[in-house]
Amino acid sequence: MVDRMLVTEDGKKIVARKAIKELLNNDSIIRLCGASDALSAQLVENAGFESIWVSSFESHASCRLPDADILTVSDYSQICNKIADRVSLPIIMDGDAGGGSPINTIRMVREYEKNGASGICIEDNLYPKRCSFYGGVKRKLAEPKDHAMKIMAACDNRISNDFFIIARTEALIVGNGVDDALLRANAYADAGADAILVHHKGDSPAPIFEFSKRFKRLPLVCVPTTYNTVTEKELYKNGYSVVIYANCGIRATVKAVKEILSRIAETGTLSSAEHLLVDMKEIFELIGLEDLQRNEKKYSA
């Protein structure tokens, strides 16, 4: 539950979240885990991760939508606001392609930051983006100079310099190879990015390790969804400072809920699935029932 608070001069309380830049000084890999609402974000915090990743994939899936830039800045701002109100970990927003132009990127960055985000990741897919793992869809990357302008716009217009801006390249996703990923990463570094995410959907981390051997300018971020046997120690040893477990939560939820609901429907009794459910007391703890009880006692006339 949120307990680290600062009080501004006008008496307003705000959450004192650690900056991602501060976490980078800890000599260990920073672990982000995907969440799309406050409850899943609290589970991420309870599990011991260092930061929350508000995933485009998860957020769209929660609305039963494909991950294709369908949700808006307002949609994501509401998600971020609700998480920030209840969880104290830093929040990194999946900014997709940053909108249609740098002008859109400016609003996106400022709205997310005002709603409690600690950073954003902006990818060089053309807007509207398509999920990196979708097959059979049109997929083109922005010109490096054009995406660099979005990164520059984000950096120039963030409210605080602690707001962490990750530039993500999809060069390996579209088969352009490490040389193109390096060209793009250098352009985004020149534009002011705080870190580079090089995305990859093969089953081996070899391409991202080749990239990290040749790129030393900024902290590196990866998303090992498909090369999932790689360990955090291996990633850190090979130059990666941040790892994102992007969609485990939504995949786990679908598997568990599907199994439990099917069992109840087939047997006609809740008792057949009771052993697969958490006790109601655990839900009460997660949602902060004690806060309600304490406040009712404190503020009752």
The active-site residue out of 3, 27, 37, 67 is 67
Cα dihedral sign, 181-107-95-130: negative
pLDDT per position as a tens digit, 8-59: 455 555 555 788 988 998 889 999 999 999 999 999 999 999 999 999 999 9
What are the b/e assignments for 139-164, b being 16+ CB within 10 Å?
Answer: bebbebeebbbbbbbbbebbeeebbb
Tell me: cis bond preceding 128? Omega within 30 of 0 counts. yes
pTM for the predicted model, two decimal places: 0.92
- Closest to 151 measured CA to CA, from 115, 187, 200: 187
- What are 91's two structure tokens? 């929040």
pLDDT per position as a tens digit, 29-38: 999 999 999 9
C-alpha span between 111 and 80 (Å, rounded): 10
Active site residue 67: yes
pLDDT per position as a tens digit, 55-91: 999 999 999 999 999 999 999 999 999 999 999 999 9
Q: How confident is the model at residue 131 (pLDDT cuts 50, 70, 90)?
A: confident
C-alpha span between 105 and 187 (Å, rounded): 17
**What 3-state class would DSSP assign to 118?**
coil
For 268, counting Cβ atoms within 10 Å of its Cβ (0-12 exposed, 13-18 middle, 19+ buried), the class is exposed
Chain region(s) in the chain for CATH 3.20.20.60 = 5-247
Contacts of 117 (CB under 8 A, 6+ apart): 54, 80, 84, 91, 92, 93, 163
Which superfamily does 5-247 belong to? Phosphoenolpyruvate-binding domains (3.20.20.60)
pLDDT per position as a tens digit, 92-128: 999 999 999 999 999 999 999 999 999 999 999 999 9
